[in-house]
């Protein structure tokens, strides 16, 4: 074929997809949606959204000019779809703007709709990605409250997952695990594959952060399986990248590399530059670390990752990729380029520190200072190496002493132990029932002549079994409401009672107060005297607390070394007096007889204004942390 004709053919073939794209956009524009056809339009957009968010955006954009002709409810659905598509394309500023506009429109509704909750979740995710965790938490909580009031269990679970993800970002792993397990319980009851894919994906991330690599991989595999069942191709690719990273962490590069390649090869379908950047970065490290290392391929992959990441809007991505480049270039012996990457990372850190809404991982900051020190040392510039090392040490010493690792390990072990106990009890009950049926059949077959006499015996046996079953059910009910270690009301029952008391307080116009109590320096107790001494301390503290409450009041264990007190019909002043009495009694208890040291607590107190228990509990928790910051062993409350 002549060269000119060949080029002309290439040009024509290259224009064909563009022509089809223009035709499809004109078709969407020509067929303006109406309220009667809107449901079909939504179904088509959601189908596109599952497979190719870019095409979903084109369909929505084509109908933007027809939006005012729709009802408010349908406009909210439209905006919610658009906000979600922007998130999937990593366009977080646009998603936040669209969701905010829609939420302003939602105020015109007489009653909140589930679309309002979903818009809050979409905006919360966009804001979270932009680095403002506090504002994101407020949106997630508001969305969760609406979903709960409308009894929409799926969106309740989504709200819990969103809050749990925020918790692990700020290293509150224990709370994150509790949220995810509550959401998983809902997802399993609903048998919703999309929801199961979401919660398993987040559990995979959480277990990776707490260095439970095998379980992390197992959760990612479950997530991928459920997303595929639900037809959620885009989210399946997201999980595939996480799964590849999990394999790479375990040095199983033969499994990781094909998964990274699959994500990269479907970049157009994925439509998310941040996700593709992570896939290229993962490929770069795999090429370096695999047995037949390919440094040049690794270098090229990292350059591609940087191109995709340069316009990223997610708060921590620019720093993360600057660090990735620095570590990889150092591995490849490109020290000057590594230093340039670290200078960029440090500049980004300064910019983020100037913005009070940005939260950057302490690990990232430590990594920047550490790697700079190592790189300058390798260049022989010991003055700069010393300066970087000094920043590293100064920052490390400024970090809070308290760690969350012990909490999450305790909760994880207890949760998994409880799950195993439940499964064993169910299995034992099934075996017992089967054995009883076999025995009854054998007696009936072999002793028909004694049927009447045996009837009385069997009746007695059944009556005895019924009595045992009733007692067992009562025992199980008590166990489901009671904390195993302390015998106090557990978190699940606490939440039920808290909401009930809040409703009663609102109904009868009575005050309702909540305390959150946290043991000071509990990790030090565990480290110095062992976990058995720590458990015994919690048990003794539970007994002290129980001795102070009346029959209507509840002293409960929230989790770890945190306790909560529910004080119905208790005014703000009375609650403060109770908290101070509790603090003093704990401090004056003769702990030194067993521990050789005193035990103190920090307490946050709040009294209901709007009778929303979740908000009260959160406020009391924040006040408790304020007491910690002010020196511990004190009571904090809103003045």
What residue spans define the domains of the chain?
A: 31-130, 447-481, 491-637
Q: State the Cα–Cα distance between residues 310 and 325, nearest whole angstrom.
A: 13
194-203, 227-236, 481-490: range with highest mean pLDDT: 194-203
The reported pLDDT for the residue numbered 522 is 87
As beta bridge partners, residue 562 has 518, 559
Q: State the Cα–Cα distance between residues 559 and 617, nearest whole angstrom.
A: 13
Of 440, 620, 587, 577, the closest CA to residue 520 belongs to 587
Q: Inform me whether the pLDDT recorded for 534 exceeds 60.
A: yes
**How many C-beta neighbours within 10 Å does residue 364 have?**
17
Residue given tokens 């099934």 in the structure block: 430
The reported pLDDT for the residue numbered 193 is 93
Report the relative pairing of strands 635-637 and 562-568 from DSSP bridges: unpaired
Q: State the Cα–Cα distance between residues 17 and 483, nearest whole angstrom.
A: 62
How would you label 176-203 residue by residue, b for 16+ Cβ within 10 Å and e otherwise?
Answer: bbbbbbbbbebbeeeebbbbbbbbbbbb
The helix or strand, by DSSP H or E, that contains position 606, with its residue range, turns out to be strand 601-607
**Averaged over 323-333, what is the pLDDT?**
86
The reported pLDDT for the residue numbered 359 is 47
Question: What pLDDT band is residue 402 in, cutting at 50, 70 and 90?
Answer: very low
Phi-psi region of 590 (alpha: psi -120 to 50; beta: other; left: phi over 0): beta
Residue given tokens 């067993």 in the structure block: 594
Q: Rounded to the nearest 5°, which phi and psi values hold at 556?
A: -125, 160
SS3 250: coil
Q: State the Cα–Cα distance between residues 359 and 391, nearest whole angstrom.
A: 19
pLDDT per residue as tens digits for the range 15-55: 444 444 444 444 444 456 777 788 899 888 888 877 777 88
Q: State the Cα–Cα distance between residues 101 and 119, nearest whole angstrom.
A: 10
The reported pLDDT for the residue numbered 186 is 94
Half-sphere exposure of 379 (CA within 13 A, CB side): 19
Both tokens of residue 403? 């760690």
Which residue stretches of 360-450 are H helix?
362-379, 382-398, 405-446
Q: Inform me whether the pLDDT recorded for 252 exceeds 50.
A: yes
The reported pLDDT for the residue numbered 541 is 92
Q: State the Cα–Cα distance between residues 514 and 565, nearest whole angstrom.
A: 6
The reported pLDDT for the residue numbered 348 is 77
Of 202, 209, 213, 126, the closest CA to residue 160 belongs to 202
Q: State the Cα–Cα distance between residues 340 and 375, nearest whole angstrom.
A: 11
Question: What pLDDT band is residue 459 in, cutting at 50, 70 and 90?
Answer: very low
Alpha-carbon distances, residue 131 vs 134, 169, 309, 361, 381 (angstroms): 9, 10, 16, 11, 35
**Averaged over 87-110, what is the pLDDT?**
88
As beta bridge partners, residue 568 has 512
Adjacency order of strands within the sheet including 554-559: 554-559, 562-568, 512-519, 601-607, 635-637
Q: State the Cα–Cα distance between residues 221 and 194, nearest whole angstrom.
A: 14
Which CATH code is given to the segment(s) 31-130? 1.25.40
**How many C-beta neighbours within 10 Å does residue 15 have?**
10
Please, which residues have CB within 8 angstroms of residue 120's CB and are 6 or more apart in sequence? 99, 103, 139, 140, 142, 143, 146
281 close to 303: Cβ distance less than 8 angstroms: no
The helix or strand, by DSSP H or E, that contains position 86, with its residue range, turns out to be helix 72-88
What residue ranges in 228-343 does DSSP mark as E strands? none
217 close to 254: Cβ distance less than 8 angstroms: no
Q: State the Cα–Cα distance between residues 591 and 597, nearest whole angstrom.
A: 6
**Averaged over 629-635, what is the pLDDT?**
93
Q: State the Cα–Cα distance between residues 88 and 49, nearest whole angstrom.
A: 9
Q: Inform me whether the pLDDT recorded for 572 exceeds 50.
A: yes
Please, which residues have CB within 8 angstroms of residue 367's CB and are 6 or more apart in sequence? 323
Question: What pLDDT band is residue 56 in, cutting at 50, 70 and 90?
Answer: confident
Question: What pLDDT band is residue 264 in, cutting at 50, 70 and 90?
Answer: confident
Share of the chain above pLDDT 90, in %: 25
Question: What pLDDT band is residue 450 in, cutting at 50, 70 and 90?
Answer: low
SS3 563: strand
Q: Inform me whether the pLDDT recorded for 7 exceeds 50.
A: no
CATH of region 491-637, choose from 3.30.70.270, 3.40.50.300, 3.40.50.10490, 3.90.1140.10:
3.30.70.270
Both tokens of residue 175? 């709370």
**How many C-beta neighbours within 10 Å does residue 50 have?**
19
The reported pLDDT for the residue numbered 315 is 62
Please, which residues have CB within 8 angstroms of residue 163's CB and are 6 or more apart in sequence? 137, 140, 141, 144, 179
Q: Inform me whether the pLDDT recorded for 289 exceeds 50.
A: yes
Top pLDDT among 29 and 617 is at 617
Both tokens of residue 112? 């909140």
Worst-scoring range by mean pLDDT, 42-56, 341-355, 439-453? 439-453
The reported pLDDT for the residue numbered 370 is 81
CA 350 to chain centre: 28
Average pLDDT, the chain: 79
pTM over 0.85, yes/no: no
């Amino acid at each position: 074929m002549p060269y000119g004709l060949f080029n002309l053919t290439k040009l024509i073939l290259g224009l064909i997809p563009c022509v089809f794209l223009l035709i499809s956009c004109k078709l969407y524009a020509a067929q303006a949606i109406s309220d009667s056809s809107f449901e079909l339009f939504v179904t088509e957009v959601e189908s596109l959204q599952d497979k190719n968010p870019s095409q979903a955006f084109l369909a929505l954009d084509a109908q933007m000019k027809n939006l005012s002709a729709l009802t408010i409810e349908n406009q909210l659905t439209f905006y919610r779809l658009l906000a979600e598509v922007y998130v999937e394309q990593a366009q977080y500023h646009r998603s936040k703007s669209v969701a905010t506009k829609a939420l302003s429109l939602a105020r015109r509704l007489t009653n909140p709709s589930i679309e309002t909750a979903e818009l809050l979740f979409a905006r919360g995710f966009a804001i979270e990605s932009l680095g403002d965790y506090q504002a994101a938490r407020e949106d997630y909580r508001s969305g969760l409250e609406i979903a709960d009031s409308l009894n929409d269990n799926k969106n309740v679970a989504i709200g819990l997952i969103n809050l749990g993800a925020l918790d692990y970002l700020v290293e509150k792993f224990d709370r994150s695990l509790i949220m995810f397990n509550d959401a998983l319980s809902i997802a399993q009851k609903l048998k919703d594959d999309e929801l199961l894919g979401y919660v398993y994906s987040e559990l995979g991330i959480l277990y990776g952060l707490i260095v439970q690599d095998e379980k992390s991989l197992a959760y990612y595999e479950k997530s991928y399986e459920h997303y595929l069942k639900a037809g959620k191709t885009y989210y399946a690719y997201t999980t595939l990248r996480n799964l590849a990273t999990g394999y790479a962490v375990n040095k199983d590069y033969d499994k990781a590399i094909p998964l990274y390649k699959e994500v990269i090869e479907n970049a157009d379908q994925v439509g998310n530059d941040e996700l593709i950047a992570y896939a290229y970065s993962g490929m770069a490290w795999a090429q370096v670390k695999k047995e037949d290392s390919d440094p040049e391929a690794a270098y090229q992959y990292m350059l591609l990752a940087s191109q995709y990441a340069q316009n990223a809007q997610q708060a921590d991505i620019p720093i993360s990729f600057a660090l990735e480049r620095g570590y990889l270039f150092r591995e490849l012996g490109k020290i000057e380029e590594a230093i340039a990457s670290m200078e960029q990372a440090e500049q980004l850190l300064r910019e983020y520190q100037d913005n009070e809404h940005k939260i950057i991982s302490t690990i990232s900051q430590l990594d920047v200072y550490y790697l700079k020190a190592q790189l300058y040392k390798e260049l022989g510039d010991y003055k700069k190496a010393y300066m970087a090392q000094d920043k590293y040490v100064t920052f490390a010493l400024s970090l809070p002493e308290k760690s969350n690792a012990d909490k999450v390990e305790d909760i994880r072990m207890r949760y998994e132990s409880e799950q195993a106990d439940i499964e064993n009890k169910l299995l034992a009950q099934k075996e017992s029932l089967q054995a009883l049926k076999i025995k009854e059949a054998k007696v009936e077959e072999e002793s028909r002549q004694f049927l009447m006499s045996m009837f009385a015996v069997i009746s007695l046996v059944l009556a005895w079994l019924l009595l045992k079953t009733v007692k067992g059910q009562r025992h199980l009910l008590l166990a489901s409401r009671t904390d195993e270690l302390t015998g106090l009301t557990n978190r699940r029952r606490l939440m039920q009672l808290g909401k009930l008391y809040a409703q009663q307080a609102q109904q009868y116009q009575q005050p309702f107060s909540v305390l959150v109590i946290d043991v000071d320096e509990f990790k030090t107790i565990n480290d110095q005297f062992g976990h058995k001494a720590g458990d015994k301390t919690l048990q003794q503290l539970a007994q002290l607390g129980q001795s102070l409450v009346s029959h209507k009041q509840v002293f409960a264990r929230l989790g770890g070394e945190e306790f909560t007190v529910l004080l119905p019909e208790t005014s703000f002043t009375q609650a403060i007096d109770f908290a101070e009495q509790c603090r003093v009694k704990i401090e004056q208890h003769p702990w030194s007889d067993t521990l050789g040291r005193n035990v103190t607590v920090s307490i946050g107190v709040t009294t209901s204004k709007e009778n929303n228990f979740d908000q009260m509990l959160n406020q009391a928790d924040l006040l408790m942390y304020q007491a910690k910051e002010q020196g511990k062993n004190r009571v904090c409350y809103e003045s």
